[in-house]
Structure 1
Amino acid sequence: MMSALSITTPLEFCGEPVPVEVQEVRERIEKELLLSLWHRPQVILWLKRSRRYMPYIEEVLRSEGMPDDLKYVAIAESALRPHARSSKGAVGFWQFMNYTGQQYGLVINRRIDERRNIFASTQAAIRYLSDLYATFGSWALAAAAYNMGEVGLNAEIVEQGVNNYYQLYLNLETQRYIFRIIAIKLILEDPAKYGFYLAEEDYYPALSFDRVRVQCFKETPIRIIAQAAQTHFKVIKDLNPEIRGHYLPEGNHAILIPKEGSENFQARYRDLLKHWSSNQKEQTYLVKEGDHLTAIAERFGVSLASLIIWNRLNPKAPIHPGDRLIIYPKESVPLTVDEDENGNNSTSVKNN
């Protein structure tokens, strides 16, 4: 093990020399190597996932003329997990915060979160890193700014009078950040050196899919898309982790489906959508004093789970008088009578 920690020189990150002749730099790389190697299952998962996601990241980096080493930023950020979420609210493969993700063109709302989409988030992350490099003139500093924010890093550069990452005193997380990426690079470039021997079949297969256009004239259940693709709800969710919940919002969407489900998909989708729409009887219920979700669900003959999904409710949060709930009651359930804000009775039914 100790012999594997020996660092051969020269060592580079994104084509820039790493000053391993400086004792502190060498020690920090060794520390991150040891910490990563101690968590062997994590490293194995890095390796297994790399065949699934890295080819696309590498392709985009090549097309933009950017260093290949930047692909290791995604591993440091999320371990290549689409649903990774930090305590600060960063989400997805590249751990974008809400504001920054939207600034770089990602759709982030109640229904869609493209931070979880490997294609959209990679494009955004590489544009962001390119902008950071243009600002700081160093890939190490650009990656550090990606971690701590450009304003904070620039303030430290000005205050300390130093613009070399390896000479800056930064917060602990950012002090470790580049060294952790370098450790990941060393391990993934030569896993056998560190005792990781994976056969070809051990790696997770590359993503296999066809991309189809789905037009939703209103919120549409994902199960309709799954049925049209001749697959299951879970498969659509796994291929499209950016979709939140059980419905696609109104609009035109590019959706990934299994290759075997793409033939005649559009015809099946149109038929299923027409059938679903013709059977929908949407009703709005005005919550009254003393109401609770279980009783409302029983009253309309629907499941509590359906009521929660239709209205995107938090099961643990209370409902309040005046709240409006969307319900798709069974045919046998009579129309409910609601009171408006003036105390007048009314029914609210919408046939779609």
Structure 2
Amino acid sequence: MQNKGWRIILTLVLAVNVGVIVFLVMGSANSTEPAVVNVAETAKFKSVDIPDSVSFAGEPMPLHRFDVRESLDRELLVNSYFHSQTLRLIKLAPRYFSVIEPILEEKGIPDDFKYLAVAESGLNPSAISPARAIGFWQFMQGTARDYGLEVSNEVDERYHVEKATYAACDYLLDAYEKYGSWTLVAASYNAGMRGIDRQLERQKADDYYNLLLVTETGRYVFRIAALKLILENPAAYNLIVPEEEKYPIIPTKEIEVTGPVLDFADFSHAHDINYKLLKDFNPWLRQAYLTNSLGKTYTIKIPQLN
């Protein structure tokens, strides 16, 4: 009897539900008001526009050639649609360009080479590649020492933005003396001068755009040029970053150290900052101490946050 009663109740419930559904459908059909459906607008992606002319370090890119044009197009697409990274680069650029632009000018290096640093490290002073190239300008250990940077267990100046920029400028000047072409200079920064020399001789060429190179170097100058175009005019690539959202330039004061530092945590607290900030602004200090047995003079930056 109980089972029979439950079957009757369930039948009634189902009948009521069906009746409600029929009522709603009929009511909707007879209504004079149109149904409102909220559908999110479909995202639209389009090709990027390639300028009529593009130059790198004052040297024109031969865009009349299909292979050159398509190579630039590839890098513009990759970097303009890599939204999170490219937006972050736009935010970071004022902070680091303010440091490296005066050094490039002082050393007689075209300003466009600041975009080489973007391509190399993503404006990360602590960047480390799988090949163990390190820092803003991605120096290998041997090359860093060749160009006067200190690389030791306690101090690694590949992480020092200013000093590494001066060293990079010296390399670029040496390469320009060899090639007389800033485009080839940029390519040599990626492949090495020996690598570029070998390909110029093998292929009987004298121009970057006529060389068959490994993929990374073959894309390298185009990537730099694409980053230049995007960072110079982000809005043209639908990347909008208001000025107030760009990362600020943090003022610093400089403290000269001529002897050992027993504990950088104590040192940082003595200068009213924490250990993390000390290392953020001085990533070239690789340990929590500095023995400085040779009595060198090191300049440590202290951020001024007040």
What is the TM-score of this pair, normalised by structure 2? Answer: 0.82
Task: Choose from 129, 141, 157 the match for 1:114.
Answer: 157
1:148 aligns with 2:191: yes
The higher radius of gyration belongs to 2
1:18 aligns with 2:65: no
Partner of 1:41: 84
Corresponding residue SS for 2:80: helix
Name the CA distance, whole Å, in 2 between partners of 1:228 and 1:154.
52
Partner of 1:258: 303
C-alpha contact 1:222 1:246 (8 A) present in aligned 2: yes
Alpha-carbon deviation of 1:248? 1.8
Name the CA distance, whole Å, in 2 between partners of 1:22 and 1:6.
16
> Between Structure 1 and Structure 2, how many residues are aligned?
259
C-alpha contact 2:250 2:303 (8 A) present in aligned 1: no
Q: Cα deviation per residue 1:176-196 (whole Å; 9 max; x = unaligned)?
A: 100100110110111001111
Partner of 1:232: 274
Name the CA distance, whole Å, in 2 between partners of 1:88 and 1:78.
13
Name the CA distance, whole Å, in 1 between partners of 2:257 and 2:270.
11
Name the CA distance, whole Å, in 1 between partners of 2:191 and 2:200.
13
Alpha-carbon deviation of 1:64? 2.1
- Say which structure, 1 or 2, has more relative contact order (CA 8 Å, 6+ apart): 2
Q: Cα deviation per residue 1:252-276 (whole Å; 9 max; x = unaligned)?
A: 3211113379xxxxxxxxxxxxxxx
Q: Cα deviation per residue 1:205-247 (whole Å; 9 max; x = unaligned)?
A: 113101111232x452111221221211111111101111211
1:131 aligns with 2:174: yes
Amino acid across the alignment from 2:303: P
1:208 aligns with 2:251: yes
Alpha-carbon deviation of 1:127? 1.2
Name the CA distance, whole Å, in 1 between partners of 2:139 and 2:250.
22
Name the CA distance, whole Å, in 1 between partners of 2:79 and 2:54.
19
Name the CA distance, whole Å, in 2 between partners of 1:176 and 1:109.
33
- In terms of fraction of residues, the more helix-rich structure is 2
Moved more, 207-216 or 105-114: 207-216
Q: Which runs of 5+ in 1 are unaligned?
A: 262-352
C-alpha contact 1:229 1:258 (8 A) present in aligned 2: no
Partner of 1:328: none
Alignment RMSD, CA only? 1.4
Alpha-carbon deviation of 1:65? 2.4
Alpha-carbon deviation of 1:25? 0.4
- In terms of fraction of residues, the more strand-rich structure is 1
C-alpha contact 1:32 1:183 (8 A) present in aligned 2: yes
Partner of 1:74: 117
Partner of 2:14: none
Q: Cα deviation per residue 1:127-155 (whole Å; 9 max; x = unaligned)?
A: 11111111111011001111011011101
Moved more, 6-15 or 175-184: 6-15
Moved more, 92-101 or 241-250: 241-250
Amino acid across the alignment from 1:20: L
Task: Choose from 163, 182, 186 the match for 2:225.
Answer: 182
Name the CA distance, whole Å, in 2 between partners of 1:89 and 1:112.
16
Correspondences of 1:297-308 after superposition (within 5 Å)? none
Name the CA distance, whole Å, in 2 between partners of 1:260 and 1:57.
22
Name the CA distance, whole Å, in 2 between partners of 1:39 and 1:13.
22
Name the CA distance, whole Å, in 2 between partners of 1:68 and 1:56.
12
Amino acid across the alignment from 2:67: E
C-alpha contact 1:110 1:244 (8 A) present in aligned 2: yes
Amino acid across the alignment from 2:279: K
Partner of 1:84: 127
Name the CA distance, whole Å, in 2 between partners of 1:113 and 1:208.
23
C-alpha contact 2:57 2:182 (8 A) present in aligned 1: yes
Partner of 1:222: 264
C-alpha contact 2:250 2:304 (8 A) present in aligned 1: no
Name the CA distance, whole Å, in 1 between partners of 2:46 and 2:209.
24
What is the TM-score of this pair, normalised by structure 1? Answer: 0.71
Alpha-carbon deviation of 1:7? 1.7
Partner of 1:274: none
Amino acid across the alignment from 2:301: L
Name the CA distance, whole Å, in 1 between partners of 2:179 and 2:291.
40
Corresponding residue SS for 1:211: strand
